[in-house]
Amino acid sequence: MSCPRKISRSVLSYGTQRRYCSGLKPLSNSSRSKRPYLIRAMHEWMVDNGHTPHIVIDASVDGVRVPREHVKDGKIILNISDTAAHNLKLTNNAASFRARFSGTPFDVWVPMRSVLGIYARETGRGMIFSHDSGSPDHRVSVDGDTTRSRPHLKIVK
Amino acid sequence: MSCPRKISRSVLSYGTQRRYCSGLKPLSNSSRSKRPYLIRAMHEWMVDNGHTPHIVIDASVDGVRVPREHVKDGKIILNISDTAAHNLKLTNNAASFRARFSGTPFDVWVPMRSVLGIYARETGRGMIFSHDSGSPDHRVSVDGDTTRSRPHLKIVK
């Protein structure tokens, strides 16, 4: 499930090449969640800045495979930097990678809807998503500006 | 300027391959704007949804190369779908492509900081950015949830 098809895109930055498995299938509806797209964008932005991306996972979501002993208050924070997360895949369905927890390797697999946020350890900057992630993202603000059903360019400070 | 280095990433979706020129250079500071990352993400999301991405440009920004006769109130809206925008590049510095305006081809080049927003024609959904784009984006909300200097997972509906 981590990579339904052998479709991948390569992202070159800082002279290194990371791989995202897009795992894209023809769309059956027009309301695909933008969450995985934003998570990939934020991950790339953080790595290009030399920062360490972390994702916050709701460990109660069905299908989450994480080391349970590291779950606190139903959440687990995972380092998905290149050095910590091996064979990282950020598909439209899930994030998956292999990491070591207290020295023990573990194959993490988490559905995208369990990803509550992504932030850089060094700055705390990133994105926090709503909990009900099965539905598409309805509103996005950047710099305090908000998207609307029709674009208006009024700036909300 | 449109593509400082011959670095590109390929994005496969819907069986078609689009190309983004990343044009990434080693970072000189830690506050690179996330705007181009989000624009690429939104563009990909819209195309994967079968929608038609448009960008809104502040034509008064230095360096903007657009057909002036189509500028209205200092703005121009450009269709950057695969069928309308040929050789589209969305780098960290600029968006560039060739398009036809009233039948006449034109090589568009717009700095990222002139991009005020991106939205899908069919839905109006997308992102609107603040005008002062030289600085990095400070706040991002998704699904009504807001990023903070340190991540808090409280959901703001």
Cβ-Cβ contacts under 8 Å, B127 against chain A? 140, 142, 145, 147
Spatial separation of the C-alpha atoms in residues A143 and B133, rounded to whole Å? 9
Residue A126 lies in a domain: yes
pLDDT tops 60 at residue B145: no
Hey, are the CB atoms on B41 and A41 less than 8 Å from each other? Answer: yes
Residue B124 lies in a domain: yes
Output the pLDDT for position B31: 67
Query: Quick one: pLDDT band at residue B21, thresholds 50, 70, 90?
Result: very low
Q: How far is A9 from chain B (nearest CA, A)?
A: 5
Q: Which residues, 6+ apart, have CB-to-CB distance to B114 below 8 Å?
A: B57, B58, B59, B61, B63, B64, B133
CATH code of the domain covering residue A78: 2.30.30.220
Cβ-Cβ contacts under 8 Å, A133 against chain B? 143
Spatial separation of the C-alpha atoms in residues A137 and B142, rounded to whole Å? 7
Q: Is the separation of the CB atoms in B41 and B90 below 8 Å? A: no
In degrees, rounded to 5, the angle at the alpha carbon of residue B85 between the alpha carbons of residues B82 and B88 is 85
Hey, are the CB atoms on B12 and A32 less than 8 Å from each other? Answer: no
Average pLDDT rounded to a whole number, residues A56-81: 97
Hey, are the CB atoms on B40 and A42 less than 8 Å from each other? Answer: no
Helices (H), chain B: 35-48
Cβ-Cβ contacts under 8 Å, A28 against chain B? none
Average pLDDT rounded to a whole number, residues A39-65: 97
Residue A39 lies in a domain: yes
pLDDT tops 70 at residue B74: yes
CB atoms within 10 A of CB A96: 21
* Residue among A7, A37, A119 whose CB faces B41 most closely: A37
B14: containing domain: 8-24+31-146
Which secondary-structure segment (H or E) carries A46?
helix A35-48
Name the domain count of chain B: 1
CB atoms within 10 A of CB A82: 13
- ipTM surpasses 0.90: no
Residue B100 lies in a domain: yes
Q: How far is A29 from chain B (nearest CA, A)?
A: 7
Residue A49 lies in a domain: yes
Cα B122 off chain centre by: 17
Q: How far is A103 from chain B (nearest CA, A)?
A: 27
Residue B156 lies in a domain: no
Average pLDDT rounded to a whole number, residues A89-112: 97
Residue B155 lies in a domain: no
Give Dmax over CA atoms of chain A in angstroms: 51
Query: Quick one: pLDDT band at residue B32, thresholds 50, 70, 90?
Result: confident
Residue B38 lies in a domain: yes
Output the pLDDT for position A133: 42
Hey, are the CB atoms on A30 and B122 less than 8 Å from each other? Answer: yes
Q: Is the separation of the CB atoms in B157 and B59 below 8 Å? A: no
Spatial separation of the C-alpha atoms in residues A90 and A109, rounded to whole Å? 10
Spatial separation of the C-alpha atoms in residues A87 and A18, rounded to whole Å? 9
Hey, are the CB atoms on B128 and A147 less than 8 Å from each other? Answer: yes
Q: Which residues, 6+ apart, have CB-to-CB distance to A113 below 8 Å?
A: A33, A35, A61, A133, A134
Give Dmax over CA atoms of chain B in angstroms: 51
Tally of CA atoms within 13 A in the half-sphere of A99 that contains its CB: 23
Nearest CA in chain B to A17: B9
